[in-house]
Structure 1
Amino acid sequence: MDPDSQYVELAVEVFGLLADATRVRIILALRTNDELSVNHIADIVDKSPAAVSQHLAKLRMARIVSTRQEGQRVFYRLANEHASQLVSDAIFQAEHAIADGTTPAHHHEERERA
């Protein structure tokens, strides 16, 4: 990828959007579930439905999540696998940062799957 690419600024916006613990937790919750309602996500991330709804609106505007409506209920899902991968990679990097010279847990999991 060219450092002068038009996508660099957009990538910075994505990182800025994901620089919020609640949004990261929402993505983690959606990563392990096909789709969830606002109330279910709120329960998982331990935030009010109103707060979660505001975060989901931002994620939806950025096309990180998409929705499906069923009557009055709206269900959210990840729009694609990339936000999930970004969050996973950031968490893996955090594990390296605190591993203090030891091998992080995600490397042990990779070996077990091989």
Structure 2
Amino acid sequence: MKACDHDFLSPELVEEVSQTFKALADPTRIKILYLLSQEECSVGHISEVLELSQSAVSHQLALLRNLHLVRYRRAGHTFYYSCDDDHVITLLKQTIRHIEHD
């Protein structure tokens, strides 16, 4: 029997994919990403909508930023966040539609 010719994922890529799915497994980060998929938001607005402290929101945004899932721009003293990866947002929205369909 012939061995299968497969391209295997590098360990580094597997780790990055794993980290992305771990980030998406957190309810707060799901809410943040979904909100940012609708509009660009300041940290204050996100914390208001999600009823969380600005510190807690900033912590979650830093993690999402490190994974290149969100980006920010600064206007004066205010930071505005938006989604930085349409692929992940598409995955999130498809998963939501999948759950709602059932």
Measured against the shorter chain, the TM-score band is 0.7 to 0.9
1:67, 1:75 within 8 Å by CA — same for their partners in 2?
Answer: yes
Show the counterpart of 1:38: 43
Write the distance in 1 (CA, Å) between the matches of 2:24 and 2:32.
10
Q: How does 1:26-105 map to 2 (within 5 A)?
A: 26-33=32-39, 35-96=40-101, 99=102
Write the distance in 2 (CA, Å) between the matches of 1:3 and 1:52.
39
SS in 1 for 2:71: strand
Show the counterpart of 2:28: 22
Post-superposition offset of 1:17: 1.1
Deviations 1:8-36 (A, max 9, x none): 33212100111100000001100111x11
Show the counterpart of 2:18: 12
Give the ranges of 4+ consecutive aligned residues of structure 1 lying more than 3 Å apart after TM superposition.
none
Matched residues, percent identical? Answer: 34
With the length of structure 2 as denominator, give the TM-score of the two structures.
Answer: 0.82
- Matching residue's letter, 1:14: T
Post-superposition offset of 1:46: 2.1
Flag structure 1 segments of 5+ consecutive residues without an equivalent: 100-114
Post-superposition offset of 1:3: 6.4
